[in-house]
Amino acid sequence: MLLSLYLPAVLLVAVGGTGMALYAWLNRDTAGGGPLSLFLLSASLLSLAEALSLATPGIATKYWATIGYAIAGIVPLAWLLAVFEYTGYDRNLSPWTAPLLLVEPVVYSALLWTNDSHHLVWGPDWNIVVVDGYTAFVATESLAFWGHMVYVYVLVAAGAWLLVTVSARAERLFQTQASALLAAVAVPLVVSTLAAYGLLPTDLDPTGPAFVVSGAVLVGAIYRDRLLSVSPAARELGREALVAELDDQVFIVDDTDTLVDCNPAAERLLPGDRSTAVGNRLPIPDLAAVVAEGPGQYEITLDDGHVTRYYDVRVSAFDRAYGTVSGSIVALRDVTDRTRREQRLDVMNRLFRHNLRNEMNVVRGNAELLADDLSGSARDRARRIIDTVDEVIDRSDKVGALSQSLDGEEENRPVDVAFVLDAVVEQVRHDYPEADVQTSVGERSSWLVDVDASIEVALTELLVNAIEHADGPDPTVSVALSPARDGVELTVGDSGPGLPEQELAVIEAGVETPLEHGSGIGLWMVTWLVERAGGRIDFAVDDGTTVTVWLPAA
């Protein structure tokens, strides 16, 4: 019964495979589409030749069987080329790769047609037998046949290795596609091998019907997994192009810190040619020392012979299967301009604040002496000078505190904001005994937030700013701590005249211009420190100013 379906199954492969080959050809712009079309067409012609061999008696059986053997040599090669394109490895191939791979099938085909003169493919004792009404060509395989089988195994093994390598860490979609491609050639190959070794209970070679399974698997991959619509080749090519176009320098070293690759930007840091550097220890001593310390972030300086440049370095390990470390990716970012700018700003800031404080102290001292010798309105003007000098010194101290807080390393950690707030309120009440600081803490089991240590400076400045800008000699400031979505909210309200619209616009815009600028550093200081701590700050103006600070929960 099963043998009666044998010829229809072979013809089904021939017809269906031809249709699929046409579909793949129409999608040949997709990676792997063109070679996959050749694979399907070859399988279809192989099945057609086998069908004709089964249906024609006498010497014609041998003729069509020989054609089938010849076409069979193209099938694994077409499949391998499809795998090359699908995985993106075709870009690494020489233009001569395909012609060289074609040499063996061409030679094998020539040996097939001249076998009667040398018997290298099969021996002289071949025969044509009848099996349940079908004619089959039966022969004893010789050296060339087994050599060809080894060649086929090598091609399939190479393609399988590529598929497994690319899909091992790919998305599930690409893993399913790769499995379909592998099954498409594995099933017929296994059947053909079993037939060649005489392990099947029939003289018929069921390789043709085996392609029914291949076709079914590929149809499923095409329509369900978009085999001819999307492939990992674009991903691999895109990643390589991204690294090649990066301005950052990228080195790849193996687990012995031997340089194996680098992008064009990194080549400029090498002391010699790339060709001589690859395959040897990383030829940049300072960078090699950093890589030896293992994964992490570092800062180094390199001298290119003319100027010293500063780099942020990130070392990331990558591994192969089972977690075995294979090497490291070393990425450098040139931060020379930023570092020099920070150095200049730091020096200018320190010199400015130091000189300003010294000069203001001179002004203040002279103003105090002058006030002692004056009376009336002149004395009041001298006192006004002293108060203004004190304000300037206070702003200078705030700038210094802000610079110190912002210059430190950002390191968020769980902080009990209620505990911090209690300490801040206690200190503020001590420094400003005339102020009425009212606190309200909501119901919550934990007030842990994930913030930077600078949050304490921000809260202190926020309360001080509210007190100093409140109306009257006895300012009132309300502080409320309440739960919020994904964090907590701290609300500070004062009884002052309210934040001027111009000040609010400048803070919300995040930048000062010659036409729009604030009059103090306090709110800038609070805003920057809250943002640095990982929070968010909002302002509302009604009867006084209400500032709401959101902090993320730990």
User: Would you say residue 239 lies in a domain?
Assistant: no
User: Would you say residue 402 lies in a domain?
Assistant: yes
**pLDDT tens digits, residue range 73-112?**
888 888 888 878 777 777 777 788 888 888 888 998 898 8
Domain holding 548, by residue range, is 410-554
One domain, residues 79 and 104: yes
| pLDDT at residue number 62 | 78
Q: Report whether pLDDT(12) > 70.
A: yes
| CATH at 109 | 1.20.1070
One domain, residues 190 and 108: yes
One domain, residues 206 and 273: no
CA distance 140 to 12: 29
- Fill in the DSSP letter of residue 414: E
One domain, residues 105 and 229: yes
The torsion angles phi and psi of 473, rounded to 5 degrees, stand at -75, -15
For 199: left if phi > 0, alpha if psi spans -120 to 50, otherwise beta; the answer is: alpha
| CATH at 286 | 3.30.450.20
One domain, residues 300 and 351: no
| pLDDT at residue number 242 | 64
Last residue of a domain, one of 407, 432, 463: 407
One domain, residues 68 and 111: yes
One domain, residues 215 and 139: yes
One domain, residues 252 and 370: no
| pLDDT at residue number 223 | 65
One domain, residues 417 and 553: yes
Please count the structural domains in the chain: 4
| CATH at 505 | 3.30.565.10
**pLDDT tens digits, residue range 383-431?**
888 888 887 777 777 666 666 666 656 667 888 888 888 898 898 888 8
One domain, residues 379 and 277: no
**pLDDT tens digits, residue range 438-455?**
888 877 667 888 887 778
Say whether 235 sits in a helix, a strand or coil: helix
One domain, residues 171 and 38: yes
User: Would you say residue 240 lies in a domain?
Assistant: no
User: Would you say residue 241 lies in a domain?
Assistant: no
One domain, residues 284 and 391: no
**pLDDT tens digits, residue range 290-307?**
888 888 889 888 886 667
Q: Are strands 487-494 and 476-484 parallel, antiparallel or unpaired?
A: antiparallel
**pLDDT tens digits, residue range 132-153?**
666 777 777 788 888 888 888 8
Q: List the Cα angle 309/314/319 in 5-degree steps.
A: 145
